[in-house]
């Protein structure tokens, strides 16, 4: 699964992952993260999610990373915002009041460019990545956010029945990625109505990740 896989999806409008409304688990449980008012929240692999509008409406600042420039053009258009657009290294920085989006490969986004964040909201980001990339992703995410608290949404289903994305991420795998860094608390688990891709029974889980020790 290379970058062309995602560019192709955006070009074709093949974006079943895009929810037309803010995510239900986010709305129900995000307050558990206790992000300070006006805090800056990082959405890795953000697409054009409606969750950004939901967070902005609640007074948070949002910073995202997304491969597809097409997605981000659509995001700003749907938000009704005219972005400032400038190159920063290999990334393109879209910004408006309260929002910064870096277009390009998240692995090219470094801590100084991202800037400080008070929380990470990972919906359809880790689960979008194949197994060998998830280790690299989780390490990079912890590094560039200085282990900021995370609100993380995952799926759990029998991976032998269908292929991802979205991939199933069992708790043991999450522990391998994040267990040494974060205290992980399951906040909710909900069955996926009609099954994942209409094919297999699955549950969607919301996790709160709080750093055990804050690195310098
Ligand atoms: C499953 S979608 C989820 C989008 C969004 N989080 C949502 O909830 O609608 C995954 C997104 O990650 C983007 N993506 C994939 N690999 C990426 C990478 N290496 N760097 C930045 N974005 C990436 C894709 O273009 C796609 O928009």
Separation of 149 CA from ligand 1 center, angstroms?
Answer: 20
Which of 150, 141, 137 lies closest to 111, judged by CA? Answer: 141
Residue 142 domain-assigned (yes or no): yes
Q: How many domains does the chain have?
A: 1
Q: Is the dihedral of CA 41, 53, 9, 193 positive or negative?
A: positive
Residue 46 domain-assigned (yes or no): yes
What is the domain extent for residue 87?
Answer: 3-12+22-211
pLDDT by position in tens, the chain (length 216): 689 999 999 999 999 999 989 999 999 999 999 999 999 999 999 999 999 999 999 999 999 999 999 999 999 999 999 999 999 999 999 999 999 999 999 999 999 999 999 999 999 999 999 999 999 999 999 999 999 999 999 999 999 999 999 999 999 999 999 999 999 999 999 999 999 999 999 999 999 999 997 554
Residue 7 domain-assigned (yes or no): yes
- State yes or no: ipTM above 0.95: yes
What SS3 state is found at 41? strand
CA 30 to chain centre: 13
Residue 182 domain-assigned (yes or no): yes
Residue 17 domain-assigned (yes or no): no
Instruction: Please say whether the beta carbons of 209 and 34 come within 8 A.
Output: no
Residue 216 domain-assigned (yes or no): no
Separation of 172 CA from ligand 1 center, angstroms?
Answer: 24
Q: Does 10 carry a binding-site annotation?
A: yes
Q: Does 66 carry a binding-site annotation?
A: yes
The enclosing domain of 145 has a CATH number of 3.40.50.150
pTM of the full structure: 0.97
Q: Does 207 carry a binding-site annotation?
A: no
What SS3 state is found at 158? coil
Whether ligand 1 lies within 6 angstroms of the CB of 25 is answered as no
Separation of 126 CA from ligand 1 center, angstroms?
Answer: 9
Whether ligand 1 lies within 6 angstroms of the CB of 17 is answered as yes
Whether ligand 1 lies within 6 angstroms of the CB of 65 is answered as yes
Residue 172 domain-assigned (yes or no): yes
């Amino acid at each position: 699964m290379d970058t062309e896989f995602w560019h192709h999806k955006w070009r074709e409008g093949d974006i079943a992952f895009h929810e037309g409304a803010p995510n239900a688990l986010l709305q129900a449980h995000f307050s558990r993260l206790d992000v300070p008012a006006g805090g800056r929240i990082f959405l890795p692999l953000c697409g054009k999610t409606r969750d950004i509008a939901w967070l902005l409406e609640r007074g948070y600042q949002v910073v995202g990373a997304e491969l597809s420039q097409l997605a981000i053009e659509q995001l700003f258009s749907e938000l009704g915002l005219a972005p400032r657009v400038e190159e920063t290294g290999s990334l393109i920085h879209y910004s408006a009041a309260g929002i910064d989006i870096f277009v390009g490969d998240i692995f090219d986004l470094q801590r100084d460019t991202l800037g400080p964040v008070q929380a990470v909201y990972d919906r359809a980001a880790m689960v979008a990545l194949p197994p060998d990339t998830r280790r690299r992703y989780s390490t990079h995410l912890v590094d560039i956010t200085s282990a900021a608290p995370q609100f993380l949404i995952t799926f759990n289903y029998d991976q032998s029945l269908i292929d991802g994305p979205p991939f199933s991420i069992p708790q043991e795998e999450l522990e391998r990625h994040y267990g040494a860094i974060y205290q992980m608390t399951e906040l909710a688990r909900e069955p996926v109505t009609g099954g994942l891709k209409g094919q297999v029974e699955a549950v969607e889980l919301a996790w709160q990740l709080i750093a055990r020790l804050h690195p310098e």
